[in-house]
């Protein structure tokens, strides 16, 4: 194998790793958002964890996070606006990334 081939494989491996980390961070963010919403609904413990899982799985409908925003807006029944959910998600995403990175290292 040539040096070019080695570099190409290294770049491909790094890209795959970065994509996996991004996916994991998004899923973690959705879980944290789900736990936040569960608290707003008065859920705790196992109920909150189970609800957070439904939020994580809701994210597979579309490429962006709007499917999660719609789910939470509907589930919170007007107690929290879509904009508040988006702002909370923006706050939670860096925390989720930090958690995923600390677990990977």
For residue 1, the model assigns a pLDDT of 62
Domains defined for the chain, CATH in brackets: 3-104 (1.10.790.20)
Tokens of 91: 């706050």
What is the mean pLDDT of each successive set of 10 residues along the chain, which is 105 residues long? 76 81 91 95 94 88 81 91 94 93 80
For residue 29, the model assigns a pLDDT of 94
Name the pTM for this structure: 0.84
Closest CA to 93 of 24, 46, 9, 3: 24
């Amino acid at each position: 194998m040539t040096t070019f081939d080695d570099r190409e494989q290294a770049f491909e491996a790094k890209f795959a790793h970065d994509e996996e980390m991004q996916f994991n961070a998004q899923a973690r963010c959705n879980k944290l958002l789900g736990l936040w919403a569960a608290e707003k609904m008065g859920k705790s413990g196992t109920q909150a964890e189970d609800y957070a899982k439904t939020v994580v799985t809701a994210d597979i409908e579309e490429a962006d996070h709007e499917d999660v925003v719609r789910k939470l807006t509907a589930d919170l029944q007007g107690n929290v606006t879509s904009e508040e959910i988006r702002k909370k998600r923006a706050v939670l995403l860096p925390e989720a990334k930090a958690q995923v990175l600390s677990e990977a290292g």
